Amino acid sequence: MLVPDSTLWNISLPKPPEGAKWTPAPRVVDDLHYRQDKVGFMQQGFTHLFLAPSDGGTARALTSGRWHVGARFDGLTFGAGYDWTPDGRTIVFDGLRDSTWDRQYQVSRIYTLDVASGVIRALVSRPGCGTTPPSPRRAHRRIHRVRLLGPHAPHVGPVDGGARRLWATRCVADFGPRSGQPALGPGRQGRLLHGPGSRLDQRPVRRPFGRLRDVTQGRSRFAHLAGTHAGRCRRAQRSRARPRRGTDRSAPGASSTRVTAVNDDVLASKRLARVEEVWYTRAAGRGAGLARQAAGVRSGTEVSFDPRDPRRPVLDVHVGFSYMFQNFAATVTWCSTPIRAVAPGTATHSRTPSTTIIRDPTTTI
Amino acid sequence: MGVGALDHERRRIAPPVLVKGSDARWSPDGTRILYFADGEPKGTQIFVRWMDAEGASSQVTRLTETPTDGKWAPTVRRSPS
């Protein structure tokens, strides 16, 4: 929760006449990072953890000070990453407990908070920049998170390692860029679910740099991965013809089961066009015409097609959410049939750049 | 936005809406859910709803700032905000 903290406009002004309504005092900005895309001016204050009784009562501050709970990307907030250890005595969180946080670029640490005493201890000696919150697990008292020390690489280590020695991080996988956000499955194997763009993989975290194994096929995009003790994985999946939906899959080897019906009522009366993506390696020069990836369109590649081709080209332009998604800005696709009705937001023709995946079908995990 | 319960075995949403709120989280013992909704004194507050036939719901915070990302403690008795 945000604890307000701001510098007040302390220049004394004459009192307003009775009944007059004056404009608010100027906003005093003394932080380097004070605004954010899709937010505007960021709220002035610091994010901290509070403990509230579930049966009502006053919330108690667990952390305080001029620093934030929650790793920040260049000062931008994406929430607070924290979780309880299974015994309920400790909270593991990320952030940067340093008053100079505003001037440190992509730096965060993992801390443990003893709930009873309030003692905060840095768990990891080396700073990094996390994109997923730490996740304590019962089986090995290990935590997991992605740290940008070199490539996107999850690390695991014991939660209570501070007294004996500082936590020695261990890299368990190297997914390379465009890895998406992995999730740690429960159980003693601690399998790591991972969605590198269009596939879902899993690997045991105890096996450093173990082989990846696909547990899904086909093109779709995944988000919000989660695992169950029974070895099933739950995810939000989005494909070209359907918006985001929840799916449940026994991994590996079984088929996916759709468990939610988001927007089915909207799509019930719609007849969606069949979408066909055309992918090929573009020949040297401009002879090939159709761009392989959105980047070709963005860079001004001339898009041409044979007018005798019965298929119809469709330029699908995505209005990017922010600058970082502009690589999805435009994709050219061909439709073999005219689009009769397209519900907004239901046809997505773009995909992320391909990611190299190490696969070994003989691996058992 | 409403909070519903997904019946995984029957592959449907049942019932459609339990309460008006968002970001529901089950308590570790499965007896209650924590969720966010508008409350007193202003803005978003944390509520707890018993997942029994009676379905009693109560506001457990009265904060002046907006709580985010609440999680149950494993001991069930407390939830941070």
Are residues A67 and A101 in contact, defined by beta-carbon separation less than 8 angstroms? yes
Contact B77 A1 (CB under 8 A): no
Contact A54 B6 (CB under 8 A): no
Domain parsing of chain A, residue ranges: 1-171, 173-270, 273-340
Query: Which residue of chain A has the CA closest to B4?
Result: A260
Q: Would you give the DSSP letter of residue A130?
A: B
Instruction: Tell me if chain B has a CB within 8 Å of the CB of A116.
Output: no
Going from the C-alpha of A117 to that of each of A63, A111, A113, A190, A200, the distances in angstroms are: 11, 14, 8, 30, 41
List CB contacts (< 8 A) between B11 and chain A: 257-259
Those of residues 89-108 in A touching chain B at CB distance below 8 A are 91
Gap between the Cα atoms of A100 and A225, Å rounded: 34
- 3-state SS assignment for residue A323: helix
Task: Please report the ipTM that was assigned to this predicted complex.
Answer: 0.83
- For the stretch A82-126, pLDDT in tens is 888 777 888 888 888 998 888 888 788 878 888 999 999 887 666
Contact A1 B66 (CB under 8 A): yes
The residues near A317 (Cβ < 8 Å, ≥ 6 apart) are: A329, A330
- Phi first, then psi: what are they for A221, rounded to 5°? -115, 145
The residues near A31 (Cβ < 8 Å, ≥ 6 apart) are: A44, A75, A102
List CB contacts (< 8 A) between A249 and chain B: none
Those of residues 12-51 in B touching chain A at CB distance below 8 A are 12-13, 27, 32, 34, 46, 48
| Gyration radius of chain B's alpha carbons | 13
Q: Taking Cα atoms as reference points, which of A122, A188, A186, A129 lies closest to residue A153?
A: A129
- For the stretch A292-335, pLDDT in tens is 333 333 333 444 555 566 655 555 444 434 444 444 444 444 44
What secondary structure does DSSP assign to A280-306, as a single string? -PPPSTTTT-S-SSHHHHHTTPPP---
Facing B65 at nearest CB: one of A4, A55, A261: A4
Q: Note the pLDDT of residue B57.
A: 92
Contact A79 B69 (CB under 8 A): yes
Written as one letter, the residue type at A130 is G
Residue A246: Cβ within 10 Å count: 17
Query: Which residue of chain A has the CA closest to B63?
Result: A59
Q: How far is B51 from chain A (nearest CA, A)?
A: 14
Q: Note the pLDDT of residue A360.
A: 27
Q: Which H helix or E strand runs over A98?
A: none
- Joined together, the tokens standing for residue A143 give 């935590």
Are residues A1 and B65 in contact, defined by beta-carbon separation less than 8 angstroms? yes
Gap between the Cα atoms of A113 and A82, Å rounded: 10
Q: Taking Cα atoms as reference points, which of B18, A129, B61 lies closest to residue B70?
A: B61
pTM of the model: 0.60
Facing B81 at nearest CB: one of A50, A84, A86: A50
Instruction: Tell me if chain B has a CB within 8 Å of the CB of A85.
Output: yes
Gap between the Cα atoms of A346 and A275, Å rounded: 11
- For the stretch A183-228, pLDDT in tens is 554 444 444 444 444 344 444 444 434 455 555 555 555 555 555 4
Strands A312-317 and A256-258: unpaired
Q: Which range has the top average pLDDT, A50-59, A253-262, A267-276?
A: A50-59
- 3-state SS assignment for residue A328: helix
Contact B60 A56 (CB under 8 A): yes
**B contact test, residue of A48, A58, A84 with most B CBs within 10 A:** A84
Going from the C-alpha of A164 to that of each of A84, A91, A159, A277, A342, the distances in angstroms are: 21, 19, 11, 56, 61
Query: Which residue of chain A has the CA closest to B78?
Result: A53
The residues near B7 (Cβ < 8 Å, ≥ 6 apart) are: B13, B14
